[in-house]
Amino acid sequence: MKHRFNLRNWLLLAGLLALPLLATGVFGQEAAAPADPSAYSDEAFMASDGYAVFTVNNLWICIAAALVFIMHLGFATVESGLSQSKNTVNILFKNVWIITTGILLYAFWGFYSMYPPGDNYVLVSGVFARGGWLGSAIDMMDPAKVTAEYNAGYTVWGDFLFQAMFAATAATIVSGAVAERVKLTSFMVFSVLLVGFAYPVTGYWKWGGGWLADRGFYDFAGSSVVHAFGGFAALACVLILGPRRGKYTKDGIKPIVGHSMPLATIGVLILWLGWFGFNGGSALSADPKAVSYSLVTTSLAAAAGAIGSIFTSWIVIKKPDLSMALNGILAGLVGITAGADTVSEGSAVLIGIIAGALVVGSILFFDKIKIDDPVGAISVHGICGMWGTIAVGIFSFNSEHSLFTQILGTVAISLFAFVFSYVVFFALKAIMGVRVSEEEEAGGLDVAEHGAPAYHIS
C-alpha cells in the first residue's frame, strides 16, 4: 500500500472543485434568494387543461433520469466484470466517484454551460458558454420554470436531473478503457475536468443550440454528444497511458480475460434497461408516438447488434463468445441512439447488425495495433457512436438530415473530446503521473490504491 494522501494533488483537486463555486458565488446567492419551490405554486396551471399532459411528460423525464442513473451501475459492473479481480475495487470506486462528482459538477457549472439560461452566460456565441450554480439564475424564481412555459416536457428540475445523469456517462466510458493501470488520483482529476467542463462544451454545440444545431446536425440521444465524445476521450487517454503490462508480448497478444462474466452480463442488461430512459427520455416528453417508436427501434437495434456480433465473432474467432455478444448489444444501442426516432424499424435492425459486426472488427483492430482497451469502450462508444451518427445521414426519414453534416458533427465532437483529453491527460502525466508503478499494476490496484481486495470468499 504505497499510495498515500498527497497534499499537492488534493489541493489541486480542491481548487478545481472550488472554482465554479467561487465564480458563481453560490453560497452568497443562496442566502439572498433561496429557491423556495413553494414560491412557484401555480394553482391556475394545476387547474388548466394542460396540467395533466405536462404532469405525465415531466414524470416520464424523471423516470427516464432514474433509468439513465442506473446505467452507472451497468457501467460499474460491466467494467469490473471484464477486468481482473485484483482491480475491481478500483473500478467500482472510480464509477462511484464519476456519478457523484458528475451530478455535483453539473449542478455547480455544467448545466448552465451546456444550456445557457440567458445571453449573459454565452461567451462565444454558439461555441462556448460559462456555467454557474444551478440555483444562481435569478429567473429560476419564475413560476414558468415549473410549467409548460419552461418546456412542454418538464420543469427546470426535471431537465437538470435528466441531463445530469447523461453528463456523467462520458467519463464512465473513459474509466473502462484506462482500467487496470491508471493512477487513481489522476483519473479523479481528469474525470472532474472532462465531465464538469469539456462535456458541456460540445453538448452546447448541439443540444444547447450552438453551431452544430444551427447547421442542422442531428443527434437524437447522443451517439456523438455522449458516446463518441466518451470513446474518443478514452482513445486519447489510452494513447498516453499505454497498454497493460504483459498484454502485447513478442510472442503475440496475450488475452487478459475478465474475472466475472455474470457481473459483465448484469452490467450489459442493466445498460439496456437504462437505454429505455436514455433514448425514450430523449423524446423530451411522454408523447405516445415519439416514446414508443423510439423504444421499438432501440430494442430492435440492440437485439440486432447482439446477432451481428455473435455471428461475426463466431466466424472470425471460431466460437460463440459471450463478451462479444454483450458488446454487440451495447454497439447496437450506441448505434441507434442518434436516430432512434427518425429511421424505420427495418433500418434500426440494419444499423444494429452493422454496429454489432463493426464492434467485433474494431476490438480486434485496436488490439492488433496495440491500443489496449480492456472493455472495448473505444470500439463500442467511439466507433459505434460515429457509425450511429453517420447512419442518420443514410437512413433518416427526414430529408434535411445530410450525410455531410452528420460526418462533420461527429468528427467535430470526437475531435474536441480527443484533443481536450490528450492535452489534459498529458498535463496530468507531467504534473502527477497517470500510471501506477509496475509493482502496483502486478499486485492489483485494489490493494495498491485502496488497501483492500474486492473478494474474500472463504
Site stretch for a second copy (CB under 8 A), options 124-132, 239-247, 318-326, 411-419: 318-326
Rounded to 5°, the CA angle 128-285-194 comes to 30
Task: Determine, following the binding rule CB under 8 A, whether residue 442 of this chain makes contact with a second copy.
Answer: no
Q: How far is the CB of 315 from a second copy (least distance, A)?
A: 7
Indicate the helix (H) or strand (E) that contains 252: strand 252-253
Q: Which is nearer to a second copy, 250 or 456 (CB)?
A: 456
Q: Which is nearer to a second copy, 202 or 347 (CB)?
A: 347
Task: Determine, following the binding rule CB under 8 A, whether residue 23 of this chain makes contact with a second copy.
Answer: no
Tell me which of 219, 440, 441, 449 binds a second copy, using CB under 8 A: 449
Q: Which is nearer to a second copy, 299 or 410 (CB)?
A: 299
Tell me which of 322, 394, 419, 432 binds a second copy, using CB under 8 A: 322
Task: Determine, following the binding rule CB under 8 A, whether residue 433 of this chain makes contact with a second copy.
Answer: no
Tell me which of 198, 349, 354, 363 binds a second copy, using CB under 8 A: 349
Q: How far is the CB of 211 from a second copy (least distance, A)?
A: 26
How many residues contact a second copy, by CB under 8 A?
129
Closest CA relative to residue 171, chosen from 97, 111, 85: 97
For 60, the grid coordinates are: 416520464
Tell me which of 326, 351, 354, 357 binds a second copy, using CB under 8 A: 326
Task: Determine, following the binding rule CB under 8 A, whether residue 244 of this chain makes contact with a second copy.
Answer: no
Closest CA relative to residue 276, chosen from 57, 77, 68: 68
Task: Determine, following the binding rule CB under 8 A, whether residue 138 of this chain makes contact with a second copy.
Answer: no
CA–CA separation, 158 and 197 (whole Å): 21
Task: Determine, following the binding rule CB under 8 A, whether residue 1 of this chain makes contact with a second copy.
Answer: yes
Q: Which is nearer to a second copy, 57 or 389 (CB)?
A: 57
Tell me which of 170, 189, 238, 303 binds a second copy, using CB under 8 A: 303
Closest CA relative to residue 198, chosen from 233, 238, 224: 233
Q: How far is the CB of 305 from a second copy (least distance, A)?
A: 8
Q: How far is the CB of 99 from a second copy (least distance, A)?
A: 7
Q: How far is the CB of 143 from a second copy (least distance, A)?
A: 9
CA–CA separation, 399 and 87 (whole Å): 48
Task: Determine, following the binding rule CB under 8 A, whether residue 279 of this chain makes contact with a second copy.
Answer: no
Catalogue the long-range contacts made by 125-128 (C-beta closer than 8 Å, 24 or more residues apart). Answer: 126/205, 126/209, 126/210, 126/211, 126/214, 127/204, 127/205, 127/210, 127/211, 128/201, 128/204
Closest CA relative to residue 323, chosen from 406, 369, 276, 258: 258
Name beta bridge partners: 248: 253
What residues between 399 and 418 interact with a second copy by CB under 8 A? none
Task: Determine, following the binding rule CB under 8 A, whether residue 278 of this chain makes contact with a second copy.
Answer: no
Tell me which of 15, 216, 246, 346 binds a second copy, using CB under 8 A: 346
Site stretch for a second copy (CB under 8 A), options 76-84, 200-208, 239-247, 380-388: 76-84
Cβ-count burial 311-332 (b if 16+ within 10 Å, e if not): bbbeeeeeeebebbbbbbbbbb
Tell me which of 15, 34, 216, 433 binds a second copy, using CB under 8 A: 34
187 touches 94 (CB < 8 A): yes
Indicate the helix (H) or strand (E) that contains 249: strand 248-249
For 420, the grid coordinates are: 481536450
